[in-house]
């Protein structure tokens, strides 16, 4: 595989990271190619050669975002118990949504929940990727039932949906400028709910961190 020709003058992965921020802040439709190329430090033909087109770039951006910024979600799944999984997920999510060196909120929602008809696929793609994360969580909770960590009556799918809904609400709230401390407070309430719903027969201790 002979690699000849003029070498690329930019770091494709670093440029992708710049694009992540632009889409994160402005959404798919709100980010113009000019915004993107300016932030990435390249011009349009380079962008098209390296990433295909705007949609191709966006999909690579989402993949990169999932790799880098959503690592906490995969880590959370490795916790020992369902409760710890939920706790890690909710708490780390709040931290990720409010990092001072990142745009507030999450790309998966900021990218676009509604689009023009011609870009409807973008919103659907993002929705599907969110639901995939929810399903992974549901599978982890199902394992917890098998392991008798969660009681037999627990509904792994419903629990995962609840956790996922809270993380999405947190993301919307974070994008509106709500502070990390305020979101953490809400995460603890949600976690309390998770415990009550997951272990319905067990008495619930008082709320609080």
Among 35, 139, 168, 184, binds DNA (CB under 7 A): 35
> Is residue 26 close enough to count as binding DNA by CB under 7 A?
no
> Smaller CB distance to DNA: residue 56 or 200?
56
Nearest alpha carbon to residue 136 among 77, 187, 188, 180: 77
Binding partner of residue 207 among DNA, a copy of itself, none, CB under 5 to 8 Å per kind?
Answer: a copy of itself
> Is residue 46 close enough to count as binding DNA by CB under 7 A?
yes
203's CB contacts (< 8 A; 6+ apart) are none
Q: How far apart are CA 141 and CA 150, in angstroms?
A: 8
Nearest alpha carbon to residue 41 among 17, 23, 15, 62: 15
Report the residue count for the chain: 209
Residues 137-156, interacting with a copy of itself (CB under 8 A): 155
Q: How far apart are CA 160 and CA 82, in angstroms?
A: 10
Report in angstroms how near the CB of residue 141 gets to a copy of itself at its nearest.
13
Among 50, 66, 127, 136, binds a copy of itself (CB under 8 A): 127
Residue 79: DSSP 8-state: S
Nearest alpha carbon to residue 16 among 37, 34, 44: 37
> Is residue 38 close enough to count as binding a copy of itself by CB under 8 A?
no
Residues 99-158, interacting with DNA (CB under 7 A): 116
Report in angstroms how near the CB of residue 72 gets to a copy of itself at its nearest.
18
Query: Given the rule CB under 7 A, which residues bind DNA?
Result: 2-10, 31-35, 42-46, 48-50, 53-55, 116
């Amino acid at each position: 595989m002979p690699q000849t020709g003029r070498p690329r003058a930019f770091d494709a992965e670093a440029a992708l990271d710049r694009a992540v921020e632009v889409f994160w802040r402005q959404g798919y439709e709100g980010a113009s190619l000019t915004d993107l190329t300016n932030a990435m430090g390249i011009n349009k033909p380079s962008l098209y050669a390296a990433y295909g087109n705007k949609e191709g770039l966006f999909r690579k951006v989402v993949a990169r975002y999932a790799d880098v910024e959503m690592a906490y979600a995969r880590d959370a799944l490795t916790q020992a118990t369902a409760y710890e999984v939920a706790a890690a997920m909710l708490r780390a999510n709040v931290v990720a949504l409010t990092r001072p060196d990142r745009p507030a909120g999450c790309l998966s929602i900021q990218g676009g929940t509604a689009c023009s008809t011609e870009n409807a696929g973008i919103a659907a793609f993002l929705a599907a990727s969110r639901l995939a994360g929810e399903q992974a969580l549901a599978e982890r909770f199902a394992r917890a039932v098998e392991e008798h960590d969660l009681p037999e009556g627990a509904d792994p799918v419903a629990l995962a949906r609840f956790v996922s809904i809270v993380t999405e609400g947190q993301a919307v709230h974070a994008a509106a400028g709500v502070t990390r401390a305020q979101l953490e407070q809400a995460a603890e309430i949600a976690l309390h709910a998770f415990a009550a719903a997951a272990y319905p027969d067990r008495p619930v201790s008082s709320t609080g961190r």
